[in-house]
Chain A
């Protein structure tokens, strides 16, 4: 099955902005993003902390609906899902 992953802002610079990931059915959302992000260490480290958890400021959307980060490990992706991974910016 195919899942579209979109990385925004500096995540996109490091990992690519629009990726179609092939995965087996029922894989956990955080595992899939880890797999895709692991191709670039800087990109991976920008999204995940040293324990492999999403950094607390990261925003994840699944099919246009924001995920509560506590659910990111429980959520299973489905064929055709679109996942957006977004880092808020803070400068002014």
Chain B
């Protein structure tokens, strides 16, 4: 085995929160369930719609109208009946975020907006667990791993959110980025390999080209900055 019985046992004892059961959440959840991550809490407030099915591969035509988390839990349990899947149908906001995460070992950012991403970033920093970031648009995607107080956080890298829009997406792009995120989670839980910390992975599916941008912690970061009183103001 790649990481032995001990590694498999470690995965089994781990808890991961997947925020979002859509395009990114689908591949991340499938791979983590198949790998044997013992407890997966999947959180989403949406119902399955037909327009989701080109990319949200956890759901199929028969699931239209169901809660995404219920559809997700059903598939994940059938892939791996030995894991525990929590289907949490709720909105992630300032009131619910911390309790949703609870005593998890890490949070996967599979959201579709930066407002919630920033909130997850704050929770990860507060309770000192990693945030595995991914985002997509069309054929383009990005991913990074955030270890609070050790590597650049989401606000260090993206101090300002890109504009809200309806995102055109081809299903293969969240497939690529979700697989990167799931890989990061597994390596982190097993304490192996080199994490995608202080690096922003950029995928251009149109050109079949991957790049990385080196990023650093911002001492004035409003979320994790070390220079208190000199932090940038939140907008």
B2 contacts partner chain A, Cβ-Cβ < 8 Å: no
Closest to B139 in A: A9
B162 touches A92 (CB 8 A): no
In the bound complex, residues from chain B placing their C-beta under 8 Å from that of A86 are: 202, 213
In the bound complex, residues from chain A placing their C-beta under 8 Å from that of B159 are: 56
Beyond the given pairs A87-B162, A92-B20, A92-B25, 12 more chain A to chain B contacts, judged by CB atoms under 8 angstroms and listed by A's residue number, are: A8-B202, A9-B202, A57-B162, A57-B163, A88-B135, A89-B142, A89-B162, A89-B167, A90-B162, A91-B137, A91-B167, A92-B113
B196 to chain A, nearest CB (A): 15
Count of B interface residues, CB-CB < 8 Å: 39
A92 touches B202 (CB 8 A): no
Using a CB–CB distance below 8 Å, which chain A residues touch chain B?
Answer: 8-10, 12-13, 17, 56-57, 59, 61, 64-66, 84, 86-92
Closest to A18 in B: B207
**Docked CA distance A11–B29 (Å):** 31
Most buried by B among A56, A61, A64, A90: A90
B137 touches A10 (CB 8 A): yes
**Docked CA distance A64–B199 (Å):** 11
List which B45-96 residues lie within 8 A (CB) of chain A: none
**Docked CA distance A87–B204 (Å):** 12
Taking a contact as CB atoms closer than 8 A, the residue among B114, B135, B204, B214 that contacts A65 in the complex is B214
In the bound complex, residues from chain A placing their C-beta under 8 Å from that of B136 are: 89, 91-92
Taking a contact as CB atoms closer than 8 A, the residue among A8, A56, A66, A92 that contacts B112 in the complex is A92
B204 touches A92 (CB 8 A): no
In the bound complex, residues from chain A placing their C-beta under 8 Å from that of B161 are: 57, 90
